[in-house]
Amino acid sequence: MKRHTSSFLLLGILMLLLGLLIYLPMIELLRESLQENGRWSIANYRRFFDWGQPVYLRALWGSVNISLLTVLGSALLGVPLAILFTRFQFPGRKIFGVLVSLPILLPPLVGVLAFYFLVSESGIIPRLLQKIFSLSSAPLVMRGVPAILLVHVYSFYVFFYLFARNALQSLDRSLEEAASGLGAKTWTIWRRVIMPQLKPALIGASLLVFMNSMASFTAPYLFGGNWRYLAVEIYNAKLNGDMPLALTQAVILAAISIFFLLLIRGYENRRPSGASRGSKGVAAPPRVTTARWQKKLLAVLGGVLIMVLMLPQLILILIAFVKNGTWTWQLLPEQFTFENFTAVFTSREAARPWWNSLWMSAFATAGGIVVGTVAAYFAAYQKHWRWARGGIDLSVMLPWAVPGTVIAIMLIILFDEPHWFTGGKILIGTAAILPVAYFIRHLPLQFRATAASFSNFDPALDEAAQNLGAKAGLRFRRIILPLILPGIVTGAMMAFVIALGEFVSSILLYTYDNQPLSIAIFSELRLFNLGTAAAYSVLLTVLIGVVMWLAQKWSGGTEESVWG
């Protein structure tokens, strides 16, 4: 119809963009992986799936093994925490409940760094134990698999916590009352009534954690040692100049991730929204523990848990004030300084990675605002092209599943030659490539936040504005935009702060001139400037905290739905 031509044009541009930035890199990656000496061949895959010499397969098993253990560990930590915070009333419950979901906001690199200071060979805990018990060597040193698992569980238990908490909160209490009225004991009620209702949430969280763990790069990269991890092997292959191998591994990892994305989506579509809605249940109120000792015990337990969970951040703060090069063999650092922080504001050299990350994230986020909003409009609001809705939604969500390492490899493959849409330039090796990578990686986040706003937007408001004589421009400016702005802002702020600390694709794509913050932290660590590395991490964390707090105020708390 004539009156929709401009919309249709916009849809066309969006589809072209998604094609160029999401599908073209994927197709290029797949195509190149199927080539040998300029001819079609599956030699690369034969090499990977060589059962006689399973060098590369071992990396795949390494990833799968750790991911399965991560799921188990995250569930064992996250679910009990969710039960504790939804079912029991004790002093400090509210504030602990907020703190407990914080690790998800920590950039992976910062988390890994904190654990490095805490439990590595030179970590504080092993040293402390060695000193206290006068041991010849430091005990409890974490490296390899246990260290990776520790970091993974620390970052990913939040998924289980949030999923289980939401499911527990929406449980219909009358079902439990009915069961207990029928004579069931507490244990039976949990086993037969509550757990079956939590199953969808637990399966959802498991899939999500598995997918995230498979994609994880930073922890296996820093702690892995001899353990082979697929995401890291891609990086190593690229570094060793074995591009065909890097490509093949990237394709396999991408395929697994996309498979899990489809699995998660299929699962979400199948289960009814919200928990079972058989009856008009009242949301279960937290049980008030009557005995005072119980209250105290729970408060202490909660407090200790939070302390343990906060420990990594506290260590970072401590080390951030340590003078570089002064903490070597001593048990605890002895010389403290503010230099590590002030340097960022006084030294041009120290400030450069900050500026780099700030402008690159800003550009990526700005692009994400435009594309994410347009995509959300077509996927979650407009009704003229219903056929386009599911396709756009799936396309935009693809980069959410594809690991950062793979995205970086895709971009390398695509942009190491000139294209008409890059103005005939080669983007690899320029400062433009990182913003592009950030944009692609965090577009799903911005899209989801905005789409959530769009689905809450009542189309009758737009009709009312039309009826009052407003043309499309005025309606968008005065009615639609103000009402979806909270979603756009939340998504943009999250994308921005996550891009600030982005490490995984940065390490494959950065150039000396546009070295981002994460790479700077990493280099400082390599140079043993522990204080600087920690100070940057703390600053970044504070920045993230402030931005997230602002986003929370702005949107009234939609950010959790974005993670889910």
Q: Closer to another protein by CB, 239 or 481: give it.
A: 481
Nearest to 391 by CA among 406, 407, 372, 378: 378
| Angle subtended at Cα 388 by Cα 384 and Cα 389, rounded to the nearest 5 degrees | 90
270 binds another protein per the rule CB under 8 A:
no
**CB of residue 468 to another protein, shortest distance in Å:** 3
Among 27, 135, 464, 542, binds another protein (CB under 8 A): 464
**CB of residue 558 to another protein, shortest distance in Å:** 16
456 binds another protein per the rule CB under 8 A:
no
**CB of residue 485 to another protein, shortest distance in Å:** 9
Rounded to whole angstroms, the Cα distance separating 190 from 488 reads 40
**CB of residue 210 to another protein, shortest distance in Å:** 39
Of 30-38, 469-477, 510-518, 538-546, the segment contacting another protein by CB under 8 A is: 469-477
Q: Closer to another protein by CB, 74 or 450: give it.
A: 450
Q: Closer to another protein by CB, 144 or 390: give it.
A: 390
Element (H, E) at 424: none
Among residue numbers 109 through 128, which ones bind another protein (CB under 8 A)? none
466 binds another protein per the rule CB under 8 A:
yes
Which residue is it, tokens 């039976």?
Answer: 188
CB 534 within 8 A of CB 320: yes
**CB of residue 214 to another protein, shortest distance in Å:** 41
452 binds another protein per the rule CB under 8 A:
no
**CB of residue 486 to another protein, shortest distance in Å:** 10
Among residue numbers 354 through 373, which ones bind another protein (CB under 8 A)? none
Q: Is the dihedral of CA 182, 185, 186, 189 positive or negative?
A: negative
Among 460, 526, 553, 556, binds another protein (CB under 8 A): 460
Of 26-34, 135-143, 165-173, 465-473, the segment contacting another protein by CB under 8 A is: 465-473
461 binds another protein per the rule CB under 8 A:
yes
End-to-end CA distance of the chain: 38
Q: Closer to another protein by CB, 17 or 472: give it.
A: 472
> What is the rounded radius of gyration, in angstroms, for the C-alpha atoms of the chain?
25
**CB of residue 454 to another protein, shortest distance in Å:** 15
Nearest to 220 by CA among 404, 400, 416, 492: 404
Q: Contact letters (x/-) for another protein, 3-42, by CB under 8 A? A: x---------------------------------------
482 binds another protein per the rule CB under 8 A:
yes
**CB of residue 461 to another protein, shortest distance in Å:** 5
DSSP H helical ranges for 183-229: 186-188, 195-215, 218-223
One-letter amino acid for residue 419 of the chain: H
Q: Closer to another protein by CB, 8 or 421: give it.
A: 8
Of 54-62, 75-83, 472-480, 492-500, the segment contacting another protein by CB under 8 A is: 472-480
CA 82 to chain centre: 20
Q: Closer to another protein by CB, 349 or 458: give it.
A: 458
Token output for 355: 């500026």
CB 483 within 8 A of CB 450: no
Secondary structure (3-state) at 47: helix
Q: Closer to another protein by CB, 224 or 486: give it.
A: 486
Among 483, 539, 543, 548, binds another protein (CB under 8 A): 483
Name every residue whose Cβ is closer than 8 Å to that of residue 321 and which is 6 or more positions away in sequence. Answer: 336, 337, 338, 340, 531, 535
Of 5-13, 171-179, 260-268, 470-478, the segment contacting another protein by CB under 8 A is: 470-478
Burial of 107 (0-12, 13-18, 19+ CB in 10 A): buried
Q: Closer to another protein by CB, 12 or 459: give it.
A: 459
468 binds another protein per the rule CB under 8 A:
yes
**CB of residue 476 to another protein, shortest distance in Å:** 13
**CB of residue 384 to another protein, shortest distance in Å:** 12
**CB of residue 381 to another protein, shortest distance in Å:** 15
Rounded to whole angstroms, the Cα distance separating 522 from 110 reads 10
DSSP H helical ranges for 287-347: 292-320, 339-346
98 binds another protein per the rule CB under 8 A:
no
Name every residue whose Cβ is closer than 8 Å to that of residue 72 and which is 6 or more positions away in sequence. Answer: none
Q: Closer to another protein by CB, 181 or 469: give it.
A: 469
Among 36, 463, 513, 560, binds another protein (CB under 8 A): 463
Binding residue count for another protein, defined by CB under 8 A: 19
Name every residue whose Cβ is closer than 8 Å to that of residue 538 and which is 6 or more positions away in sequence. Answer: 316, 317, 320
**CB of residue 42 to another protein, shortest distance in Å:** 46
Of 296-304, 316-324, 359-367, 476-484, the segment contacting another protein by CB under 8 A is: 476-484
Strands (E) in 3-52, as ranges, are 35-36, 39-40
**CB of residue 462 to another protein, shortest distance in Å:** 9
553 binds another protein per the rule CB under 8 A:
no
**CB of residue 494 to another protein, shortest distance in Å:** 23
Rounded to whole angstroms, the Cα distance separating 194 from 196 reads 6
471 binds another protein per the rule CB under 8 A:
yes
What is the DSSP secondary-structure string of 83-151? HHHHHEE-TTHHHHHHHTTGGGGS-HHHHHHHHHHHHSTT-HHHHHHHHHTT-SS-SS---HHHHHHHH
Rounded to whole angstroms, the Cα distance separating 464 from 444 reads 31
Rounded to whole angstroms, the Cα distance separating 421 from 26 reads 17
CB 311 within 8 A of CB 533: no
CB 377 within 8 A of CB 454: yes
Query: Could you give phi then psi for residue 57, rounded to 5 degrees?
Result: -60, -35
470 binds another protein per the rule CB under 8 A:
yes
Summarize as ranges the residues that interact with another protein (CB under 8 A): 1, 3, 458, 460-461, 463-471, 474, 478-479, 482-483
